Each structure stands twice: as structure tokens, then as C-alpha cells.
């Protein structure tokens, strides 16, 4: 676990853009089980989260006409039970952070793993997200 003072601005990077920070497994379960589309961002302190994942999430949501009904985030290395619950729903994909999952009516329909994030340019991740929004939202 990281000191809260260290992760607070990283959390705020997404919460200030409309993402709800989920802190418990129950909150995760309730969010993913919601009707409609839910975008789940597994946030982290790593460089590719700062340089690519969070900017791509914010850009894709801001620029899309079609977007998920609910935007939520869990923080790897902090609320371990909430992150574990989110990752249960992301199976068969292995745990990775950062990562981004889109659910529709509780079913995983699109997944972006860490290697897709760290190995891609920012605009490619934005395009990937917008394509998923267009298809599923």
C-alpha cells in the first residue's frame, strides 16, 4: 500500500473527470452489475498510467458522443479487496494495472490490458476506447 497523500492526486486525476472511486468489493459488485455500460479503470502509480491510461480515458470520454453510463475506478496497491473483486469480473484476463474494462449489463465486453497501454501511442488507446464506446454504448 502507498501513503494516501501520494495517491490522492492520482485518484483525483480520474475522479475530477467524472469517475467514481470504488473502495469496497460491494461497491464494485454493485457498479458492475448495473444495467447498461460501466467503464472500469484499474488505476495505478506507474508511469504508463500517468502518461497513457488516464489521459486516454479522459480524452475518450470527453470526445465521445456515445459513452458508458457509469465511469468507475479502483486503485491497484490500495483497496486490495475492491481491486480483487473487479479483477474477478475481468477473468480470463490476468491481473494487470493499469487496465481498462468495459461491461455491458454485467458482462465483460471489452478489455485493454497493461501491455496494450504501455505498448501503444496515446491516440491509439483513445481510438480503441472510442471504438468500444461506439459498439457497446
Hey, which residues are catalytic here? 46, 48
| C-alpha–C-alpha distance, residues 104 and 37, integer Å | 4
Grid cell at residue 14: 480520474
| C-alpha–C-alpha distance, residues 12 and 123, integer Å | 22
Across the strands, what pairs with 43? Answer: 75
- CA distances (Å), 92 to each of 9, 45, 83, 96, 128, in order? 31, 24, 15, 12, 20
Grid cell at residue 1: 500500500
Return the beta strands (E) in the chain as ranges: 20-21, 37-43, 70-75, 99-104, 107-112
Amino acid at each position: 500500500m502507498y501513503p494516501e497523500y501520494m495517491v490522492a492526486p492520482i485518484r483525483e486525476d480520474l475522479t475530477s473527470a467524472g469517475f467514481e472511486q470504488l473502495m469496497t468489493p460491494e461497491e464494485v459488485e454493485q457498479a458492475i452489475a448495473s444495467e447498461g455500460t460501466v467503464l472500469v479503470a484499474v488505476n495505478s502509480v506507474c508511469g504508463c498510467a500517468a502518461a497513457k491510461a488516464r489521459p486516454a480515458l479522459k480524452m475518450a470520454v470527453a470526445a465521445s458522443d456515445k459513452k458508458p453510463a457509469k465511469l468507475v475506478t479502483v486503485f491497484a496497491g490500495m483497496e486490495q479487496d475492491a481491486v480483487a473483486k473487479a479483477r474477478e469480473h475481468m477473468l480470463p484476463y490476468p491481473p494487470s494495472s493499469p487496465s481498462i474494462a468495459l461491461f455491458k449489463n454485467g458482462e465483460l465486453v471489452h478489455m485493454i490490458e497493461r501491455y496494450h497501454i504501455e505498448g501503444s501511442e496515446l491516440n491509439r488507446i483513445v481510438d480503441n476506447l472510442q471504438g468500444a464506446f461506439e459498439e457497446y454504448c
